[in-house]
Amino acid sequence: MYRIQVIIPTALYVQSTITYVHYVSPCSALSSLWHLKWRLITALVFLDIIYNVFFHPLRKIPGPFLARATVLWRLIRYFRGTWHDDVVNIHKQYGQVVRISPGEVSFTDEHAMKSIYGHGKHVVKSKFYDAFIVSNMTISFFATRDKNVHRFLRSRVASAYSMTSILTMEPLIQNVMDFNLQKLGELADEGNSFSIDKMVNYFTSDVVGQLAIGGMVGFLEQKKDVGGIIQSIHDGFYFMGNMGILPMQMFWINNPVSKWLTKHFGGDRLNAFDVFIDWLDSRVEERMTKGILPNQRRDLLQHFIEAKDPRGYPVGKKDVMIEGVNILAAGSDTTAIGILACLGYLLTDPRAKAKLIEEIDNAYKELGLEDEGREISYKEAEKLPYLSAVITESTRLHPSIQYQLPRIVPSEGAHVGEYFLPPGTTCGTSARAVNCSREIFGSDAEDFRPERWIPQSIEDKERIRKEKSLLMTFGMGSRSCIGKHLATVELYKYITQFFRYYDAEVANMAKPWRTNTQWFSLHQDFLVTITRRHH
């Protein structure tokens, strides 16, 4: 109502100005119209800010002034890659419920988390996810906001991502790990510092290549980003994740004019996702045309090709392509970030590293792995209590995706903390904000302390059970990460075998790495030197 009350006088003012313009000379009229345009824009922006701060239904919810006034506050922080720190800081300053833009609320309240993200809740995703709809492909189970569509699309591929399925592929993962250890040995022998963030990304990317398209892509072999595929994925998600919070985001992404402008003036970064898409398209086209070879194993790509649509008919290329994007684009970085989180916290905590190495060495000895000449399996590694604690703690502090995961408040509204959110409000949380919440994880929530996950009493067991149920590392509810089993197996195998065979030191202890959050919360400039451990 307030917007109507202020827009009508503004329109009358504009009309009177235009009437005046008719009485002046043509040149003067043109100039006056330009002035009028900017005066009108300025007036509307000013009035919108006044409305957002003083009259908006969310006006009583605390937050930075600029965040309450305009979307620019968060947009700037998304684009500069600092949201991982910003979101934690605003919750420390303003509490568990914070207004992060005029129409959106961030929360870390545990009851609201279960209410908004829990199974069976009548809460849908916001239009933010429309930005993840890839041109010339069917919608993915991640991007769709329709719960029935999501249920069908996810169930169609769920068996391929189950722990049972992943464990049948463990020998293939071990093959890539063996090759990774060989390449790390070459770097150890050279004696120079290198970017462990890149090598880990090469490993996880070759793993999904091995599982999805029948073989490693060649990142580890060449120790480089072959064809710029990895950078293409990073840039694509940077674009989608940031465009998603813009007003009318699909106008900017999908209309022909914006596409033409992006293609011709957007630069390499805004057009980079095409590199990955073209690479994937050629592999999908070849497989769908030629079929699987007699001596070729049935990989995930074949599973996707043999899937059915809702009517029971074979899927088309667009369906196969989007599943390829899910596993090859989203399935490598998320795991790499988890591995790097473990490496980062261990290499900057000598006590924790020494304790873990002792546990790993004892396990190899007790299991007789040296005598058998084999590597530790996931099932064996997951039984190591300190290793499990390190992985849980590291990924708690540095989840792979730290942007907001927005939802729309249903028709009955929702209570979030002490506030009532009206229907249609956008609300959500960041995995890092929740995982670092002092109200949930205690006063040392931002400290790396693996011991918090090792129970010493019955009370500890109950606390750990509750805290694990609130972890947002892999999301929550029916929309939780479908690839968490694959990520978990890779994490256990990589960390165990890396520290079994190598020791490592950070090149710059004052600033071990740089975090750049651009949808994926990436480690960058993580330089280390490694040496072989002799047994």
Instruction: For residue 291, give the CATH number of its domain.
Output: 1.10.630.10
Mean pLDDT, residues 279-288 taken together: 95
Mean pLDDT, residues 2-30 taken together: 46
For residues 431 and 475, the answer to whether their CB atoms sit within 8 Å is yes
Confidence band of 417 (pLDDT split at 50, 70, 90): very high
Q: Which residues are annotated as a binding site?
A: 481
User: Mean pLDDT of all residues in the chain?
Assistant: 90
Mean pLDDT, residues 208-236 taken together: 96
* Cα distance between residue 254 and residue 261, in whole Å: 11
For residues 238 and 231, the answer to whether their CB atoms sit within 8 Å is no
Residue 245 has pLDDT above 80, yes or no: yes
Q: 395 and 269: one domain?
A: yes
Does the residue 533 lie in any domain?
Answer: no
Residue 119 has pLDDT above 90, yes or no: no
Residue 224 has pLDDT above 50, yes or no: yes
More reliable by pLDDT, 295 or 250: 295
Q: Is 183 exposed, middle or buried (0-12, 13-18, 19+ CB in 10 A)?
A: middle
Q: Which residues are annotated as a binding site for heme?
A: 481
Strand bridging mode 104-107 / 426-428: parallel
Strand bridging mode 419-421 / 97-101: unpaired
pLDDT recorded at residue 267:
52
Q: Which of 1-10, 155-164, 431-440, 522-531 is the least confident region?
A: 1-10
pLDDT recorded at residue 31:
67
Does the residue 32 lie in any domain?
Answer: yes
Question: How many other CB atoms are found less than 10 A from the CB of residue 245?
Answer: 23
Confidence band of 264 (pLDDT split at 50, 70, 90): low
pLDDT recorded at residue 17:
45
Our CA angle for 165, 166, 168, nearest 5°, is: 65
Q: 18 and 83: one domain?
A: no
For residues 106 and 429, the answer to whether their CB atoms sit within 8 Å is yes
> What are the beta bridge partners of residue 515?
523
Q: 32 and 151: one domain?
A: no
pLDDT recorded at residue 151:
94
* Cα distance between residue 229 and residue 198, in whole Å: 13
Q: 336 and 189: one domain?
A: yes
Mean pLDDT, residues 178-184 taken together: 98
Does the residue 138 lie in any domain?
Answer: yes
Q: 39 and 181: one domain?
A: no
The total number of structural domains in the chain stands at 2
Task: Show Cβ contacts of residue 420 under 8 Å, excluding neighbours closer than 6 positions.
Answer: 413, 414
Residue 18 has pLDDT above 90, yes or no: no
pLDDT recorded at residue 269:
52
Q: Is 251 exposed, middle or buried (0-12, 13-18, 19+ CB in 10 A)?
A: exposed
Q: 195 and 250: one domain?
A: yes
Range of the domain at 32: 2-54
Q: 50 and 69: one domain?
A: no
Does the residue 262 lie in any domain?
Answer: yes
Residue 345 has pLDDT above 70, yes or no: yes
What angle, rounded to 10 degrees, do the helices at 229-243 and 72-80 form?
170
The pLDDT tens digits for 483-525 are: 999 999 999 999 999 999 999 999 999 999 999 999 999 999 9
* Cα distance between residue 199 and residue 222, in whole Å: 11
Q: 368 and 485: one domain?
A: yes
